[in-house]
Amino acid sequence: MNYEYFIAKRIIGSKAYKSSISAPIIKIGIAAIAIGIVVMMVAIATGIGLQQKIRDKVVAFNGHVTISNYDSNTSQESIAPISKEQDFYPEFKSVEGIKHIQAVASKFGVIRTDSDFEGAYLKGVGADFDWEYFKEFLVKGTLPDYTKNRNEDVLISQYLANRLNFKVGESFQMVFPKDDTEKLPNIITYKIVGIYNSGFQDLDAQYLIGDIRHIQRINNWKPDQIGNFEVFITNYDELPRKGIEIYQNTPSTLNTLTITEKYASVFEWINIFDKNIYGIIGIMILVAGINMITALLVLILERTQMIGILKALGSNNWSIRKLFLYNASYLILLGLFWGNIIGLSLLFAQKYLKLFPLDPSVYYVTEAPVYISLGYIIALNIGTLILCLLMLLVPSYIVTKISPVKAIRFE
């Protein structure tokens, strides 16, 4: 029979325990554990959620890896064309883990209205374009169809639509200047069939999606010439390795660039979230552990006579320490239970009700995204329990210093 567990259970269930002097301190300890687990869950869920959302938005506009010509062009505009007649297109068979590859091109132009104008890039796409991400971004209208004849349908961002007072179904003119200033610019009248909002304002302000055949015609390219290829991989965690493999399996005349290299400042910023998460977890566990240490010391002092009696009856120090550790485990588990209830309620409320908005110009998202996974929730609970118990091993050592004779007389 595990008599330490039996005595600890009797102590926890007694009415005297719940109304004792240590009761307020115990409640504070439980509250500290609950608050700590809530803060840690929110930090992990929002940190990882924000990382994934920003990453997905950047991927939607660029793919995981971009294959383009070697040139000194620092703008988003496609200057030197690439032939689509490549061994890796339309299926990248030489590298495993490639989900999709598509041919695109970009051209800078000026959107002109009767009262205003706005500069933007027309991102030309074709029949091979994967609309998976933009289906999620679509807020009004429909996605354009470029699988048939060339058409003037475009998908415009809500940011540009609001600035220019555009609505679905309206038409506008876009002026594409030529390198030779003496030649007249190309003017195309486009029709808005859909409005998207990725929440990444820096990209929404730059791009509208149109037919790549317009860019080919303006640039006097052949039908098989495009600006660059966008490659999508199945596992983002393998991006560094896949980037190298893609580079090794493309012609020497072509360059490859991963999104982490192309948007280095953005990804350096979101990588800081990991350090913030680790810092918050460390602080919360430390605070919760200190509160539990205080509660344990009060419990030991309150049960000094009982400790003396148990020692007089033959119990060794480790058995008595186990008794109090069982007691502390119950308090920690109680705090974890309420912390999980409150934490998951907050996370699910944010996930489905969008309670906390964010400034997209700063965070690249319109609301705080949350990532909920059973894996990190279980790991967080087990880790908190183990670390708190390890911290309690030191203060429980005070039991060994209690003399049975003095303890029985203690009042």
146 C-beta neighbours (distance < 10 Å), count = 20
Are 118 and 164 in contact by the 8 Å Cβ rule? The answer is yes
Q: Is residue 62 part of a domain?
A: no
Specify whether 94 is located in the same domain as 235: yes
| In a domain? residue 393 | yes
Q: Which domain holds residue 45?
A: 3-56+267-409
Strands 225-226 and 82-83: antiparallel
- Does any domain span residue 258? no
Q: Confidence class of residue 1 from pLDDT cuts 50, 70 and 90? A: low
pLDDT exceeds 60 at position 144: yes
The answer to whether residues 172 and 302 belong to one domain is: no
Is 65 part of a structural domain of the chain? no
Query: Are residues 46 and 161 located together in one domain of the fold?
Result: no
Task: Say how many C-beta atoms besides its own lie within 10 A of residue 60's C-beta.
Answer: 21
Cis peptide before 90 (omega within 30 of 0): yes
* pLDDT higher than 70, residue 407: no
Distance CA 299, CA 311 (A): 17
Whether 74 has a pLDDT exceeding 70, the answer reads no
Mean pLDDT, residues 34-49 taken together: 91
Residues 95 and 132 in one domain: yes
pTM, rounded to two decimals? 0.78
pLDDT at 24: 79
In the structure, what pLDDT confidence band is assigned to residue 17 with cuts at 50, 70 and 90? Answer: low
CB neighbourhood size of 279 (10 A): 11
Task: Tell me what percent of the chain is helix, strand and coil, each rounded to the nearest 5.
Answer: 55, 20, 30
**211 and 353 share one domain:** no
The pLDDT assigned to 213 comes to 93
Residues 294 and 354 grouped into a single domain: yes
Q: How many domains in the chain?
A: 2
In a domain, 261, yes or no: no
Q: Are residues 52 and 77 located together in one domain of the fold?
A: no
Give tens-digit pLDDT for 149-205: 889 999 999 999 999 999 999 999 999 987 666 677 888 999 999 999 888 888 888
Q: How far is CA 389 from CA 175, 321, 341, in A?
A: 69, 12, 22
Rounded to the nearest integer, the mean pLDDT of the chain is: 85
pLDDT at residue 266, rounded to an integer: 86
Q: Is residue 61 assigned to a domain?
A: no
Digit-coded pLDDT (tens) for 338-386: 999 999 999 999 888 888 887 777 777 778 889 998 988 999 999 998 8
- Token digits of residue 79: 């200057």
pLDDT > 70? residue 272: yes
Token code pair at residue 404: 């049975």
- Which residues on adjacent β-strands are paired with residue 174? 111, 188
